[in-house]
Amino acid sequence: MKKMEPSYQRLMVIVHGLSEQSICSNIKSNLRLPQEIISRDNGRCSIQITSLMPLLNDSRFKDYKSFIRAFPKVEHSKNQLKNFQLFIVMDVDDCTEDEKRKFKDKSMFDGHWLKDYIVPIYNDPNLEETMKKASIPINKKKEYITIFPTSHGDLDITVAEKLYEKLKNCNCTNMDEYIKTCIENARANRCNR
């Protein structure tokens, strides 16, 4: 009998607001990913680019030991996180051009121990506009759940792949990077079962 690999948490995502919370929760659920989603009040209160550093300096994220205590399912060894990425999904319509640039090029995270693990995901100006430009019909925030039909069977990677294909050609976002990583992790989890 094949020894089961531990189900490590390889992804974590910090989300801007309700729309981002909804789409990331939907992907997590549909692809059955061990993924932590960090938001304020389940996305009802938004996290701005300007408030990211205070969040990353709170008791969960301030240093390696605090992080491992808060998130014990993340694989780690010798003060290093292994096979881990922290995606930060933000709208960029509520910050200056300089703040937007520093978010995208990660210079705003200089000096933070998590910088090498952070993957900034931007929607310019916001997720709703990104969905319109990618021809994904979303009219209200609650409609994000319709991107993935309810699945009672196996993983629905094909739906995620279609979403990825639509977003990868949209030049106002790099959300496709997050979705691609989720698909890759879902496939890896499927093979380990």
The string of pLDDT tens digits covering residues 32-85 is 899 999 999 988 999 999 999 999 999 999 999 999 999 999 999 999 999 999
Q: Is the pLDDT of residue 151 over 70?
A: no
Helix (H) or strand (E) holding 15, with range, is strand 11-15
Residue 166 inside a domain? The answer is yes
Confidence of residue 159 (pLDDT cuts 50, 70, 90): confident
Residue 2 inside a domain? The answer is no
Task: Give the pLDDT confidence of 102-129 residue by residue, as tens digits.
Answer: 999 999 999 999 999 999 999 999 999 9
Q: Is the pLDDT of residue 5 over 60?
A: no
Domain housing 123: 11-191
Residue 181 inside a domain? The answer is yes
Residue 151 inside a domain? The answer is yes
pLDDT of residue 4: 40
Residue 5 inside a domain? The answer is no
Residue 4 inside a domain? The answer is no
What is the pTM assigned to this prediction? Answer: 0.91
pLDDT of residue 140: 64
CA neighbor of 56 nearest in space, from 120, 9, 8: 120
**C-beta of residue 183 within 8 angstroms of C-beta of residue 171:** no
pLDDT of residue 93: 95
Residue 3 inside a domain? The answer is no
**31 or 138, greater pLDDT:** 31
pLDDT of residue 30: 86
Give me the amino acid identity at 19: S
If one counts the domains in the chain, the total is 1
Q: 7-16, 51-60, 134-143: which has the minimum mean pLDDT? A: 134-143
Residue 142 inside a domain? The answer is yes
Beta pairing class for 80-81 and 76-77 = antiparallel
Output the average pLDDT for the chain: 89
Cα distance between residue 18 and residue 144, in whole Å: 10
